[in-house]
Structure formats: structure tokens, C-alpha cells
Structure 1
Amino acid sequence: MAVKTNGFTIPEELIKLLLSLASNWGDMIDSNTLKVVHLSGAMTNEVYRISWPTKMANDSRTVLVRIYGEGADRFFNRNDEIRTFECLSRHGQGPHLLGQFPEGRVEEFIHARTLSAVDLRDPVVSALIASKVKDFHNLDMPGPKTVVLWDRMRNWLSQARSLCTREHAREFCLDALEDEICVLETELWGEHQDLGFCHNDLQYGNIMINEKTRSITIIDYEYASYNPVAYDLANHFCEMVANYHSNTPHVLNYSVYPGLEERQRFVQVYLSSGGNQPSDNEVDQLVHDTEKYTLANHLFWGLWGIISAYVNNIEFDYMEYARQRFEQYWLRKPRLLGLRY
């Protein structure tokens, strides 16, 4: 029997899973003792912190519960994501998977602070992120080590076409996007570029910091795959214009996009991670490549926004978000594809 608490209906299968986990840990709970807190900022799934008292006085047990968003299976294969999650956990990355139920899963709750939009602009925090992203890219993950980006975008374009009204298809120039993806695939990739295991969604809500140890944890791997590392860095820079906890979380402020010096500083730390000493040319080249990959990011997340607007019921203006990403794509394309290094 499902139970409703704090406005959240806890599915019966989740209650059974929580009771089983509690029993394994020696806790005695019932559904009336569960404390549920909705965590804002997620745009693919609904995320909750659930806690209950333990036998220890003034102590509680806490887990994180992820309820899968409507239509999320259009963007990635959930079984592949779970395998990635488990593999990353074995590598010491992120939380442990505690259990699954039909509508979602239960994860270890990490006692660290999720970053805010402001944190990304702190040079000290940014340097910690750069080093952690480098470690993430160096992970040796199972499966083919080939670029996923372009095929995924073509798949999303096909889905967007199948969902869109004629008006939206015309507004977003969907008939022209196949050619745009081909142009980007040809223009952006170079033999000098590194391929790595990329997170592909490096927004501040997916990055946590332990204030005591100053260690960074990257979470949420739905979109993780092998890609050019410049694409992942470009994703992170693009996310610096967002504040998903504002009154208008869908609005992107491109006036605060990181300037050249800030991007160079991030790339310098990234390339220096592990004791390397990159040359000025290596830093400049990666900054240059990263800036061009912002175009792929705008198309990627623009298509995501269009599809989400039709299939997801999370309170977020996905369509307006998509408009802003496409606007940036068409605005920046002439200059960025004209760059020659």
C-alpha cells in the first residue's frame, strides 16, 4: 500500500525496499516515521532525501531516492546507466546503489554540499572541479571507447521530429538540423583531441563538495559516455550561465558566460592535474577546441529541451530553455566555425 507523506506518495515497492534496507542495518521503522524532503534542481528525475530514526538517541539514517522522470528512457538506456553507476561506484566515484524498485532507485546519501551557481565562479572551487573532471575523464570504463555524441543527437532529432507540432518543427528548423549535426561532426573533431569518459551534464547540481576535506564528488551519470573531453569542458562552461534555483530556473544569462581568462585558468588546472606541465600552446588549443564544442552543447540540450517539453511533467519551462539554446547556436556558429587555430 502506497503512503503519502509531506505531499509525496511513497510507492508500495519503495516502502518494502526501505523496510528491507532498514532491517539489514538493524533499524526498526514504519512508514509513519519516514521524513521526506524534496530536493529541487533536478530536471530529469524527481529526487528526495528520506530519513528515519535509528536506535541511537538523536540519530537518524538517511538515503537518497530517485524517482525516474516521465520519458527519461527517451534520452538514455536505464540499464546502461545502472551499469555505469555500479562501475563508477567500484572505482570509488559517487554514491553506492542500495536498491531498485519499478519507479526508481535508492542511493547512498552523500553527506556533502551540492554546489550552487555561485560556487562555479569561485577560483578555488573551480580548480577542485577541474582536477576532479580530469580524474573522471581518465576512468577506464567497459564498452567501446568511441564517440557517442553524434549518434545520440541524431536519435534525439528523430524523436523531436516525431513529437513536435508543425509549428515547433518549423520554429526550431528541425528539417535543417541533420545537416547541422553533420557539419559539426566534420568541423569539430581533430586527431589531436583526447577522448575520455565524459559526464556530459556538468551543471552545479551534479557536483558536491565535502567542506571538511575539500573533496569533490560528481554525481548523476544518466548521460555519461565516451566523448571528446573538449565537449565535456564546453558543457561545464555553458552551465555557468544557469541558476536552476532561481524564480526563473529556465532562464539562461549569457552575459555571465566565463571569459577567456577564466576558461584558460580552468583548462590550465585540468591539464596540470596529475603533475603534468602543459605548454601554453596545449592550453590554448584545448580552450579553442572547447569553445567550438559549445555549439554541439547548444544543439544537444536544445533537442533535450524540445523532447522534455512533450514528455516530462517536472515544473520547468523546457521549451523556452530549448529556444535559448538554439538561439545561442545560430548566434555563435558563424564566428566559432570561422575560427582557425
Structure 2
Amino acid sequence: MAVMTNGFLEGSLPEELMQLLLSLASNWGDVIDISTLKVVHLSGAMTNEVYRISWPTNTENVPRTVLVRIYGDGVELFFNRDEEIRTFECLSMHGYGPKLLGQFREGRVEEFIHARTLSAVDLRDPEISDLIAAKMREFHNLDMPGPKNVLLWDRMRNWLSEAKCLCSTDHVKEYNLDRFEKEISLLEKSISGSHQEIGFCHNDLQYGNIMIDEQRRSITIIDYEYASYNPVAYDIANHFCEMAANYHTDTPHILEYSKYPGLEERRRFVQQYLRSAGDEPSDAAIEQLADDVEKYTLANHIFWGLWGLISAYVNHIEFDYKEYARQRFEQYWSRKREILDVKGVDGFVEQRKCDL
């Protein structure tokens, strides 16, 4: 939303948003003086533009604060906004995340959670990691309305089709997009299993979507745009993959896979995840889930690689989406032989990395 962002930076809020803020303030007994509004852009978001807006209240030194989310360009290619709002409201009723305070044409206003957003380094803190594992288990056990079918594979195929339509012929060739229909089918056949638990997954559990109340040592998961039912192993795999990222650097698109968690760290997380259900998991259960998680990292690389390519064409947030996509695809090809026994699967030929 380049136009909206510039308007915010110049101090000019969209009229519809301003009217919504005035209405909310009135309901709370506040009087907004536009000149006293404080607007702060929150960095790290790659789909939307997010702002913290606050204004003085009658209580001395206690400002009123809300979060404003301006929807990014092209998001309708990734998910249905109406469904995402319904998920947001349902989770709010379950006591998860912020409350929806109001909507306007370009975005929405949410309750501002007074907790700290995690940083990249926080994901490696054993205590915080245990809290995340337990909260993820709780999230996966939510009984959400609507179909409980796995969305992953259909979504990947839809995104592949969108990417091919948007990309130039050169980019289709450069990123080997014509190969991914077979690769998605390969993964669906080789890593899906009847033993795998299906749950309500966040599907984007990067550090910026996790908040911690330092005093209560409690975790809140936010931003449910990609949430759907999926194998829980896929969601955990996504979280592990995000440990390679730091979106608050001068090069936020660069992924450092040397930071991907090692075997013991992955097992520890899986053990805590299973243990939080109330019973001590068996070694076999830990090994099985850890193995499934590792396989689903491959699906994650294709998923977010396609997301990056589509975003490069439709989103104007300052982020090198194409380079991000290249790294995700390269990681898929380089890890495929290691993770899968590809030689015996339907004769598909393995490729080590993208021909970039």
C-alpha cells in the first residue's frame, strides 16, 4: 500500500479510518485532537503495513493505543479476507489474540496488546521455546468452525498457477516453475500419512507473530491470515524454518540456514509440544513427529517460495521477494535428496538446486 504508507508518514490518515478512530474514542469517553495523534510504523510485516496509533486520555500519562493494519496489495491471491476476518473474530471469542475493534475499506483497527513481540534470537531461548511449543499445541487443538480438511496441497497448487500467470517466461524458466506440479504431487504422496495429526494451524509462526507477556510469562499468537487446518507437523516445520530469518536487519530477505535448529533442539521442541498435552510422550512418538516435521520443511520451502514470487509482482512493500523466493526454492532442491528417498518415488528425477 505505497500510497497509504506515504500518507501515514505525512501525518494524513485516511478519512474512513479517522472517522472510525473518532467513533471508538467517543465510545471510550475520549476526545481526539488530531494534532496529538501519535502514529508509529511497526517494521517487520511483509504482507500488510502495521501502525501503532495512540492519543492522550483524561487519565494523566495513560494514552489510548490501538493497532491499525493496512492491507497489502494482492493479498486476495493468498487468502480470502472475509474468511480471515471470521477466523480473527472466532479466535477472539476463544480468548486468543487481540479483539477486532472496527474495519474500514483499506484495513482494520485491532486491540493493541501490551506485550513484547519476539525477536529472532528469542526463538532459540529454551524457556521461550517451551512456551511456544505449549501454546502451539493449544492452538492446534482449537475446534474451529467450517471444514477440517487439509488445505496445504490445494493452496500450493493454486499459488503455483498464480505464479505462472504473473511471471514472465524468463522467470518461469529461471525458477523452474514447470517442475513444481510434479514436486508438489511427489510430496503429497510421500510425506502425507494416516498417522499424522491434523489440527488448526497458524502456518506463519515467525517470531513477529508471537508476543510474550514478560510478567506472566505467557505467549500470544497473532496474525491469522494463513491459518487453516493442516498436518501439525507442517506448522512445526514452518516454525523451524523461520529460525533462519531475521526480518529486522538491513537485508531482511536473507535467510541463514546455518541457524536452522539442530536435531537435539528439534527433538526438545517436539517433546515439549507433545508433553504439553498432559502425558509424557514415548521416544517413538517423539521420533515419529520429529521425522514428519523434517519432511514438511520441503513443503514449506515450496509454499513460501511461491508466496515470494507472487508478492514480487503484486506487493510494494520494500522487500526483495524474488531473492527470498530463490533461496526457498534452492533450499528445497538442496535438501530433497537428504530428506526423501527420491529414487524410489514414481521415477521423479531429483535436482540439487535451482538453475539460477
**Structure 1 stretches lacking a partner, 5+ long:** none
Q: Is 1:186 matched up with 2:180?
A: no
2:350 aligned residue: none
Q: Is 1:128 matched up with 2:92?
A: no
Letter of the 2:327 counterpart: Q
1:235 aligned residue: 238
Q: Against the structure 1 CA distance between its residues 133 and 99, is the aligned structure 2 distance closer, same or farther, given a 3 Å change threshold? A: same
Which one of 325, 333, 336 corresponds to residue 333 of structure 1? 336
1:127 shift after superposition: 0.3
2:100 aligned residue: 97
Q: Is 1:51 matched up with 2:54?
A: yes
Q: Is 1:199 matched up with 2:202?
A: yes
1:5 shift after superposition: 5.4
Q: Is 1:165 matched up with 2:194?
A: no
Instruction: Tell me the secondary structure at the aligned position of residue 240 of structure 1.
Output: helix
Deviation sequence 1:113-155 (CA, Å, 0-9, x none): 0000000000000000000000000000001111000000111
Q: Is 1:262 matched up with 2:276?
A: no
2:310 aligned residue: 307
Query: Is this contact kept in 2: 1:19–1:30, CA < 8 A?
Result: no
Letter of the 1:312 counterpart: N
Query: Is this contact kept in 2: 1:52–1:62, CA < 8 A?
Result: yes
Deviation sequence 1:245-303 (CA, Å, 0-9, x none): 01110000001110000000000000000321110000000000000000000000000
Q: Is 1:63 matched up with 2:66?
A: yes
What is the TM-score when the length of structure 2 is the normalising length? 0.93
Which one of 11, 14, 17 corresponds to residue 14 of structure 1? 17
What is the TM-score when the length of structure 1 is the normalising length? 0.97
1:158 shift after superposition: 0.6
1:9 shift after superposition: 3.6
Partners of 1:57 and 1:275 lie apart in 2 by 46
Partners of 1:303 and 1:8 lie apart in 2 by 35
Partners of 1:4 and 1:54 lie apart in 2 by 25
Q: Is 1:84 matched up with 2:87?
A: yes
Q: Is 1:72 matched up with 2:104?
A: no
Which one of 319, 324, 335 corresponds to residue 321 of structure 1? 324
2:288 aligned residue: 285
Instruction: Tell me the secondary structure at the aligned position of residue 156 of structure 2.
Output: helix
Structural RMSD (CA): 1.4
Partners of 1:6 and 1:187 lie apart in 2 by 49
Letter of the 2:267 counterpart: Q
Instruction: Tell me the secondary structure at the aligned position of residue 244 of structure 2.
Output: coil
Partners of 2:99 and 2:61 lie apart in 1 by 25
Instruction: Tell me the secondary structure at the aligned position of residue 238 of structure 1.
Output: helix
Which one of 133, 154, 157 corresponds to residue 157 of structure 2? 154
Deviation sequence 1:12-53 (CA, Å, 0-9, x none): 000000000000000001322210000000000000000000
Which one of 111, 116, 122 corresponds to residue 113 of structure 1? 116
